[in-house]
A and B are shown apart, each in its own frame.
Chain A
Amino acid sequence: MKLKVWGARGSVPSPGPEMNRYGGNTSCVEVTLASGDQLILDAGTGIRTLGLDLTVSPHVNILLTHLHLDHIQGLMFFPPCFRADADLTIWGPASPEASLEDRVARYISAPLSPVEVRELPCSVSFRDTPPSEWQLGSATIRCEAINHRGPTLGFRITEGDTTVCYIPDHEPALGTSLVETEPEWISGYDLARDADLLIHDCQYLDDEYPLHAGWGHSGMSDTLTFASRVGARRLLLFHHDPLHADGFLDNLHAAARRRWAEFGGDPAVVEMAMESAELEIGPVTTPAGLATTA
């Protein structure tokens, strides 16, 4: 399984020279399965440049964790939307309030957009994510509601022996201690358990988090503790705060690695999501360093 990060920023696009290395585009990750099938995780502004890369007649599955703007803003600028030979299936969380299509159409409609969903030349269908596992190409997909503001999903993608878990917006420590809480009471635990790669929200440094408690995002130590509790083999810190420039994120990365080492883990498994970065993911047979230490 291969991954490419097309956008790792949270909340709002953050262009600027001081953001160049980590990138300013919002959440979008491309997964290429060993079978050659492609999945796109979220449709933040990063999906625009991803779409420019898709030159063959695309059948694309886009999995939306939720419908906050930083996860759908790129959809209207995704080049395959404007190709008659493209076939898109957009998966997202169900809501009792309105269909997925109607909720996405609030953005792709006047006055926010010059086009309507029904005017897109591509073939597009909107599907509520099913409550049980389902198959997309050679991958088995599972999703669960996780702790964020509004209906929000995390995804677990398994192909053969390899599992990637994607939880870009998550605040599992809200109102609880991740160190002491039993696994059954931790949001996202089953979804992320023993993942070969966990892509997880790490929007704040620990001293920034108290001012943002309840906003649906995680501080660094909570992210590391969550990764430790679930036994993640590799951790990709994601959803960077729009105020965090490259130098700040370098320092956050160094601090996260030091903290992981304090927990007893190998600091090399803690990585930062960086726009355009490509990762090869395979099953990791060595036990997660921290599964029982934090």
Chain B
Amino acid sequence: MAAQKPLELILARNLLTSISTPAFLVDQTAALVFYNEAAGALLGRSFEDAGRMTPEEWTSTYGPFDAEGKPVELDELPTTRAVRDGRPAHAVFTIRSANGGTREIESSAFPIVASEEGSSGAMIFFWPQGANRTEDA
């Protein structure tokens, strides 16, 4: 059985479950441990189907990519900066959904800090920009 999550991640997941803004929850290693139904709609795949993913797994699956179509370095992602530095971060980039379509989104990551030992994860919210750029690429 997986280890018990810290209370602050449990509460964050409960919050994300209850809102319609697409959002990810990552743990202190930046592993994706949950995303809500709205994010599932954006990505074309529910979290129940996708399951937990390491940072490498979710970036290879969903991107993101910069304006020129190049993969954004893991170190430069708002998620990584929020977990590593304990600071909020914001970026605009393109993601690839499960059906191969791409979409430009704005993303803000907020660290979850419950002790002096650093962040125990981060919440990442997404705001889609306009319509899908490509469908079923």
> Chain A: residues with CB nearer than 8 A to chain B?
96, 144-147, 174-176, 182-187, 189-190
Whole-angstrom distance between the alpha carbons of A184 and B7 in the complex?
10
Whole-angstrom distance between the alpha carbons of A189 and B15 in the complex?
19
Whole-angstrom distance between the alpha carbons of A187 and B10 in the complex?
7
Q: Tell me the residues in window 107-121 of chain B with beta carbons closer than 8 Å to chain A beta carbons.
A: 114, 116
Q: Would B1 and A183 count as touching, CB distance under 8 A? A: yes
Q: Would B17 and A175 count as touching, CB distance under 8 A? A: yes
Given contact pairs A96-B116, A182-B2, A187 touches B7 in the complex (Cβ within 8 A) = yes
Whole-angstrom distance between the alpha carbons of A146 and B11 in the complex?
10
| B134 in contact (CB, < 8 A) | no
Q: Would A183 and B4 count as touching, CB distance under 8 A? A: yes
What are 12 A-to-B residue pairs whose CB atoms are below 8 Å? A145-B6, A145-B7, A145-B8, A147-B10, A175-B15, A175-B17, A176-B17, A182-B2, A183-B2, A184-B1, A184-B3, A184-B4
- Give per-residue flags for B1-39: 1 if the beta carbon is below 8 A from chain A beta carbons, else 0: 111111110110111011000000000000000000000
Q: Would A190 and B4 count as touching, CB distance under 8 A? A: yes
Whole-angstrom distance between the alpha carbons of A247 and B116 in the complex?
48
Whole-angstrom distance between the alpha carbons of A145 and B114 in the complex?
10
A-B contact count (CB 8 A): 37
> Chain B: residues with CB nearer than 8 A to chain A?
1-8, 10-11, 13-15, 17-18, 114, 116
Given A144-B4, A147-B7, A185-B5, 5 more A-B residue pairs with CB atoms under 8 Å apart are A175-B11, A175-B15, A176-B14, A185-B10, A189-B4
Whole-angstrom distance between the alpha carbons of A49 and B104 in the complex?
66
Q: Would B11 and A147 count as touching, CB distance under 8 A? A: yes
Q: Which chain A residue has the least Cβ–Cβ distance from B13?
A: A185
B17 CB contacts on chain A under 8 angstroms: 175-176
Pick the 9 closest A-B CB pairs, nearest first: A175-B14, A190-B4, A145-B7, A184-B2, A176-B14, A184-B5, A187-B10, A184-B4, A185-B10
A144 CB contacts on chain B under 8 angstroms: 4, 7
How far is the CB of A213 from the nearest CB of chain B, in Å?
Answer: 12
Whole-angstrom distance between the alpha carbons of A189 and B6 in the complex?
11
How far is the CB of A151 from the nearest CB of chain B, in Å?
Answer: 9
Q: Would A146 and B14 count as touching, CB distance under 8 A? A: no
How far is the CB of B114 from the nearest CB of chain A, in Å?
Answer: 8
Q: Would B5 and A174 count as touching, CB distance under 8 A? A: no
B116 CB contacts on chain A under 8 angstroms: 96
Whole-angstrom distance between the alpha carbons of A182 and B17 in the complex?
14
Whole-angstrom distance between the alpha carbons of A251 and B15 in the complex?
34
How far is the CB of A207 from the nearest CB of chain B, in Å?
Answer: 22
Q: Which chain A residue has the least Cβ–Cβ distance from B4?
A: A190
Q: Which chain B residue has the least Cβ–Cβ distance from A152?
A: B7
Q: Which chain A residue has the least Cβ–Cβ distance from B5?
A: A184
Whole-angstrom distance between the alpha carbons of A185 and B34 in the complex?
11
Q: Which chain B residue has the least Cβ–Cβ distance from A94?
A: B115
Whole-angstrom distance between the alpha carbons of A184 and B33 in the complex?
11
A146 CB contacts on chain B under 8 angstroms: 7
Whole-angstrom distance between the alpha carbons of A19 and B11 in the complex?
35
B15 CB contacts on chain A under 8 angstroms: 175
B8 CB contacts on chain A under 8 angstroms: 145
Whole-angstrom distance between the alpha carbons of A145 and B115 in the complex?
12
B114 CB contacts on chain A under 8 angstroms: 145
Q: Which chain A residue has the least Cβ–Cβ distance from B11?
A: A147
A185 CB contacts on chain B under 8 angstroms: 5, 10, 13
Whole-angstrom distance between the alpha carbons of A56 and B6 in the complex?
41
Whole-angstrom distance between the alpha carbons of A176 and B15 in the complex?
9
Most B CB contacts (10 A, CB to CB) among A145, A146, A182, A189 go to: A145
Whole-angstrom distance between the alpha carbons of A183 and B15 in the complex?
18
B11 CB contacts on chain A under 8 angstroms: 147, 175
